[in-house]
Structure formats: C-alpha cells, structure tokens
Amino acid sequence: MEGDIVEMGKFIGAGLATIGMGGAAIGVGSIVGNFLSGALRNPSAAGGQTAMLFIGIAFAEAFGIFSFLVALLLMFAV
C-alpha cells in the first residue's frame, strides 16, 4: 500500500513537472514571433540576426528541458 502511494506520487509529480515545458513553448513562440514581425519590417537586416534568434531560442528552451529532466528523474531515477 505504501509503495503504491509512493508510485502514485512519482507519476503525479512527473506529470506536474512537464507543465514547465509549456512555459518553454510560450517563450520560444514569443521569440520566433517577434523575430518574424521584425524581419518582415526590415527583411534586409534579418539575415544577420539568425544567430541571435537561435541563441535566444536555446536559452528559452533550456528551462523547458530542465523540467523535462525533472520528470524523467522522477519516473526512472527516484
């Protein structure tokens, strides 16, 4: 019985941890959307900024990956 509750807590915790990935999705969407709206206003300057775009995406995405990692740790390591 006690083991079942621990198991249940693990699954609930892993499910809750994945909510954080939604935040990463919002962040990446906001970055790309703003890049696109800027790029459409001044297409000639957009080409030089793709590196910045990917750096921004990487930073925003890192935190989503962290929450994914927490979920994985709860599922398989704890």
> Could you tell me the smallest distance in angstroms from the CB atom of residue 48 to other proteins?
8
- Choose which of 6, 8, 19, 58 interacts with other proteins (CB under 8 A): 58
Q: Which stretch in 7-15, 25-33, 38-46, 56-64 sits in contact with other proteins by CB under 8 A?
A: 56-64
Q: Is 55 in the site for other proteins (CB under 8 A)?
A: yes
> Could you tell me the smallest distance in angstroms from the CB atom of residue 22 to other proteins?
14
- Choose which of 12, 45, 65, 78 interacts with other proteins (CB under 8 A): 65
* CB neighbour list of residue 70: distance below 8 Å, 6 or more residues apart: 14, 17, 20
DSSP summary character for residue 18: T
CA 3 – CA 32 distance, rounded (Å): 45
DSSP summary character for residue 48: G
